[in-house]
Amino acid sequence: MFNEKIQKGLIRQLNRELESSHIYLYMASCIEKKGYEGICEFLYDHSNEERIHMLKLIRYINKRGGNVFLDNNISIINITYISLKDLFLKLFEHEQKISKEINSLVEVSLQEKDYFTYNFLQWYVEEQIEEEALIKMILDKIELIGGDKGGLYLFDKDMKNIHKNKKL
Ligand code: FEO
């Protein structure tokens, strides 16, 4: 029998991944209208990645004999941002929140002595380290560019490849 507490935590997490996918999707759509081709591509791709994170959780829960629930009450995403820096700052804060949630899930898996889940979650721990580092690197670049329009143009071009070089 799959531990009830673990199952609840994993279901909550898969719905957070779904929400993350929506957040990236919303941001990609906003950015697309501003003409940043590379950044928009990066955000659309990342939205797909978040969906993969959700799928991994669904398949694990099913494999363990649990039952999956999808939250149909995702609140309307209407994130306002005043600049690219502000947008990525909000994404950084979001990823930090997800990291905390993954960490508490890891803690619960140890408390409940569910070493299968503990092992499964290590992929998410690694992923969060990479995601936080990636967004931080983007923020550093934005800081470096400042108001330089030529720099921003090149940065947007680079963003097309950032995602492709990230191993899944
Ligand atoms: Fe699935 Fe961006 O964490």
Whether ligand 1 lies within 6 angstroms of the CB of 114 is answered as: no
For 70-113, write each residue's pLDDT tens digit. 887 666 677 788 899 999 999 999 999 999 999 999 999 999 99
Asked if residue 57 has its Cβ within 6 Å of ligand 1, the reply is no
162 lines ligand 1 (CB under 6 A): no
- The beta strands (E) that lie in the chain are given as none
What is the atom index within ligand 1 of the atom nearest the CA of 53? 1
Contact call for residues 111 and 105 (beta carbons, < 8 A): no
Q: Which atom of ligand 1 is nearest to the CA of 98?
A: 3
The confidence score (pLDDT) of residue 164 equals 57
Q: Kindly state if the Cβ of 50 falls inside 6 Å of ligand 1.
A: yes
- Does the predicted model carry a pTM greater than 0.85? yes
**How would residue 168 be classed by pLDDT, with cut points 50, 70 and 90?**
very low
**pLDDT single digits (tens) 60-72:** 999 999 999 888 7
Do the beta carbons of residue 89 and residue 80 sit within 8 Å? no
4-163: CATH topology is Ferritin (1.20.1260)
| Mean residue pLDDT across the chain | 92
CA-nearest residue for atom 1, ligand 1, is 50
For residue 127, which atom of ligand 1 is closest to its CA? Answer: 3
**Strand, coil or helix: 157:** helix
Which has the closest alpha carbon to 157: 18, 62, 30, 42? 42
Average pLDDT over residues 161-168: 60
